[in-house]
Amino acid sequence: MPSLETYALFIATALVLLAIPGPAVLYVVSRSIDQGRRAGLASVLGITTGTVVHVTLAAVGLSSLILASRVAFDAVRYVGAAYLLYLGIRRLLTRRADDALDVRPERTPRDLYTQGVIVNLLNPKTIVFIFAFIPQFVNIDAGHVSFQILVLGLTFAALGAMSDSLYAIVAGTVADRLRGTPLIARIERWFGGTILIGLGVTSAVFAPHRTS
């Protein structure tokens, strides 16, 4: 178990990093604006689940196999980018939201949760971040390295869930107050679709730092 001083420093550092909006925040905000607070929170739960999976893999050392293989790493990166592009394009092509607000198609919380899980599982930046950030706070001499990684990783996942939930609530609340006109519906559709496509392009073009 990390010392109290190390654990406190980890939490403080994590909070600073989480205060800087990243791809996960943009994804959550786009979903919240598109469908409301409930959709945003469902997406947050999915993203958090994906983070927990990565942390668990890191604790047992499996994710290092992806980082060690350029082919595997690039495969994850491109599949994740393609999925984001697919979600964005499908959103842009959903014109029924503009044509008839009363028949606006909505995805269920389960669908949004599943999408959130997939988006974060296929996000190599999450893998790289966990491997670059968490090890700095692990005390090898104290032993139980896997347990230390698990504790720190789950703490980061919990802090991320709280931070992302705040974004979801704020964005969803603002969108709910403005929702109800064809213009706002059109803005929601184009904003959400453009953000998702932008994230997909960024993931495909700009590879995060990886080990060689």
Residue 140 has a pLDDT of 72
Structure tokens, 75: 């495969």
The answer to whether 104 and 189 have CB atoms below 8 angstroms apart is no
Residue 199 has a pLDDT of 67
pLDDT tens, N- to C-terminus, the chain (212 residues) = 678 888 998 898 888 878 777 778 888 988 888 888 899 999 999 999 999 999 998 888 766 666 677 776 677 678 777 877 887 787 777 655 444 444 445 678 889 999 999 988 887 777 777 777 787 788 777 777 788 889 999 999 999 999 999 999 998 888 777 665 566 566 666 776 787 787 678 767 765 555 44
Task: Tokens 């969803």: give the residue.
Answer: 172
DSSP state of 20: S
What's 108-126 look like in SS3? CHHHHHHHHHHHHHCCHHH
Around Cβ 206, how many Cβ atoms within 10 Å? 9
Given phi > 0 = left and psi -120 to 50 = alpha, else beta, which region is 183?
alpha
Residue 62 has a pLDDT of 63
CA 121 centroid distance within chain: 9
Give me the residue spans of the domains in the chain: 4-16+24-205
